[in-house]
A and B are shown apart, each in its own frame.
Chain A
């Protein structure tokens, strides 16, 4: 495979590429990040320290990464997909043995100016490799069992390493993100319905056997599920976070309490108020209108991605953009579901808003790939 497949002559070159960037998408990303700065300023009690300022610096760095990645032709990124995948696997293995363990047991490497979480990188490199794989694989073979087993293996390898950290949220994102790329690539419906069917059957079996001598989970594991299903049953224990989160969110009302007036986050009732639960602060201070506005921004980003992918005739580019879009979607969907009590607390940050360096850099880098695909699309 080479760049010769692309009609290189029709692709803009040099600094002219800047004009061909998907600017609406960049503006949307900047808007979402700005919401993040605002909220981090608010949860710090009206101060740029300790979060907002650092987040802004990372945003600057992230934007630089985005532009650099966008300038590099997309075929280069396709050609290094395998290397990138192997590199993130190596980093995952590295942190498995030498990494530092922080809150929530996620492992990272301290780079001095930021902490790099290889699991964040893995999400993108996995999508890259799968897109490249299906770009290489002839359409006829896509649904062949052997050629379905290969991407499954590619997905499960980093997932197993991340699950071992243990980081349930990221593992789920890896699995769903990878599966989404397979789906886009045209893998037969049957595989997906089969997996979903088995999943439903397993869940039913778990619940049906409860209390019998064949029960599949331990009692404490059932209790955790209970707490998820009804957090009020244990408001000071396992359900504390989610109960407090719902209280803060629900008390926002239509228009919220006003900027910097959120009582629940200010008084520390909210856990992880600057990271995973930052959405509750937004919802409390700006109410339904504020929360839905952020949701609309996110959905617009997805729409722009899908539109860009559909318009792109290059298979690798389409799959890459769609895969990154789904990964991004999973981020905010899981996070919002979690803080609204619709999903268990699995530790997924709100993309581009939650405080966190790796996530911001990796996501903006990924959108750099989206831009590169957009700029270098066959015309």
Chain B
């Protein structure tokens, strides 16, 4: 059956026509495809290439090593120690629970940490390492390493963690670090990327917090190629960061250690200042705490013990504690009066044991009175009436002005947390704060360092150093940053007549070297090293007229928190002042009995740069001092042994 020729010719023509038509359409579409390729690969290539890089390259931060901290002699205050942690990569582990169970047989696992790790495992990608145990001992690490074949996916990792080898001695000065909290972040406008790393630690208090920017350093980074699941395939580029700056503090750790031990279980603070440079050689606050607890993450119980302790171990009383300076303020009053020309050194005031001012009776601490007192005896025997009299003549404004000249009521620029400003009150201040007029009784109270006057131990040390040297010294806490010596904050002449200062110094000398001086019992008998000081006993309660009639209750019979604060300020040696010392014992009783002996011991320790010979003490005190020195040595030995056991 042959096909019709016409038919087939017609068919062939039609097919050819349509084939060429559709073939042309196909060709045209091929052209469209080519144009689209050109548009994407040539015209838009840069844009897409950028997107591809973003896809492929991730930047990872390299945390810098935190700067270390040393004392003035190079002893380590804060360092970075390798810390070992055990990390699990769930992907490599296979049966995660089984591996964890095996690990638990080998080393102790903290249930909290484990619960956190399990949560992370369930949420993260399986190749993301999860920390199972942090800060494990070297022994535990080696046990894990030996059993590695049975523990797939487990790797020991080493990181850096902060350590404070001096423990409680430096806790208040150096402070401590801890993980970044949301609260920390909320305080910073544009937080460093580093702060967003989980478990990254920053300074929380003290120098660690205040000099955080220097200590932290700059993060490095590495560019890594990642695949679509975020796993690192290879490192493309690495830029090392800059480690944090090392700090050298002005603190002498041996002196600090001694003072901290000497303050013992009292709630007390002591500051030693170098009269040459203004360096803070010691800023002790007792009781103290172990900053290492905070780095590791303090337990709730330990933390409660610290916060509920009525001696407030967490407070740095040396700069945060504010106390009425009591009689240690009398130098300020007398200097103000001398400068104002309101009193001469030989002028005497009669002290009958009290003074009537605007129908109110102000008492001298000595009920029977001191009789006729001049400048020297008033300071030596701490006669209150003499200062009441001076206060009435000088007025509060001049007294406060002198207080500020001597460094009270001023916040120093040192890197410590929550430094208190203290208070050198003025009439305006009272009106602004309380909306009340200043009354003469306020001036009278202020003249003996009570009432509205408040000072911190460091301010009292600065005051003493300024009087001892005639220079407007200011405290310095950081000796050098990364080897660069920090300048002395201030070295101006004090705007006070040197003759007047000399008079006050002589009076202070007699406080602790004259038989009738309030601190005679706490004198130094080595001639070259004799100290000049002033006791202070500041009331924290009102003594009613009725109580006065009955007889003032003795401190020992009062509850602790109502007892007087004991204060002592001094400088030594008298002839060529090297150190200024201020000691405050909270609710310690009398300044001469509770504070002066401590100050004397501290002064001698500083003068001898170590344990002083018994010959420096008066004969009567030697047996007691000897026993005390032995006790402190024993405690130190025990402390060191505990530390080495723990390490």
Contact = CB atoms under 8 A, between A and B. Distances in A.
Genuine A/B complex: yes
Given A318-B12, A326-B22, A326-B26, A267 B33 contact: no
A302 B37 contact: no
B42 A254 contact: yes
B580 to A, nearest CB: 67
Given A184-B15, A322-B15, A264 B33 contact: no
Interface stretch (B46-54, B92-100, B179-187, B564-572): B46-54
Interface stretch (B208-216, B224-232, B345-353, B503-511): B224-232
Interface in B211-251: 225-229, 233
A123 interface: no
A186 B18 contact: yes
A67 interface: no
Given A251-B45, A326-B22, A295 B15 contact: no
Interface stretch (A57-65, A103-111, A305-313): A305-313
A246 B19 contact: no
Given A267-B226, A326-B22, A333-B29, A249 B14 contact: no
Contacts of A269: 55-56, 227-228
A35 B7 CA distance: 44
B2 A184 contact: no
Contacts of A298: 30
Contacts of A248: 52
B41 A291 contact: yes
Nearest to B52: A251
Interface string A169-190: 0000000000010011110000
- Secondary structure dominating the interface of B: helix
Interface string A309-324: 1100101001100100
A1 B1 CA distance: 7
A315 B4 CA distance: 12
B225 A267 contact: yes
Interface string A262-279: 011001110000000000
B555 interface: no
Contacts of B56: 263-264, 267, 269
B3 A288 contact: no
Interface in B32-81: 33-34, 36-38, 40-42, 44-45, 47-49, 51-52, 55-56
B30 A299 contact: yes
A329 interface: yes
B49 A251 contact: yes
Contacts of A184: 15, 18-19, 22
B10 interface: yes
A184 B14 CA distance: 8
B30 A318 contact: no
B8 interface: yes
A152 interface: no
Contacts of B40: 246, 249-250, 340
A35 to B, nearest CB: 15
B11 interface: yes
Nearest to B33: A336
Contact of B37 (A1, A318, A319, A340): A340
Contact of B27 (A186, A251, A268, A302): A302
Given A264-B56, A322-B19, A249 B41 contact: yes
B48 A318 contact: no
A139 B47 contact: no
Given A247-B52, A264-B55, A318-B12, A306 B228 contact: no
B16 interface: yes
B26 A310 contact: no
A337 interface: yes
Interface string A1-23: 11011000000000000000000
A180 B22 contact: yes
A253 B45 contact: yes
A287 interface: yes
Contacts of B22: 180, 183-184, 322, 326
B227 A253 contact: no
Contact of B34 (A244, A268, A292): A292
A313 B40 CA distance: 43
B610 interface: no
B32 to A, nearest CB: 8
A206 interface: no
Contact of A5 (B2, B20, B38, B227): B2
A201 interface: no
Contacts of B37: 249, 283, 288, 291-292, 295, 340
B33 A283 contact: no
B23 interface: yes
Given A246-B48, A252-B41, A306-B19, A315 B33 contact: no
Given A269-B228, A295-B33, A319-B15, 20 more contacts: A139-B14, A180-B22, A244-B228, A247-B48, A247-B51, A247-B55, A263-B55, A264-B55, A267-B226, A283-B41, A292-B34, A302-B27, A315-B8, A315-B12, A318-B19, A322-B19, A326-B26, A333-B30, A337-B36, A340-B40
* Shortest beta-carbon contacts, A-B, top 6: A250-B48, A251-B52, A306-B23, A267-B227, A288-B41, A253-B45
30 contacts: A2-B1, A5-B1, A5-B2, A138-B7, A139-B7, A183-B22, A184-B22, A244-B228, A249-B41, A250-B41, A251-B45, A251-B52, A252-B45, A264-B56, A267-B226, A268-B229, A283-B37, A287-B41, A292-B34, A295-B33, A302-B23, A306-B20, A310-B15, A310-B16, A310-B19, A313-B12, A318-B15, A322-B19, A326-B26, A340-B33
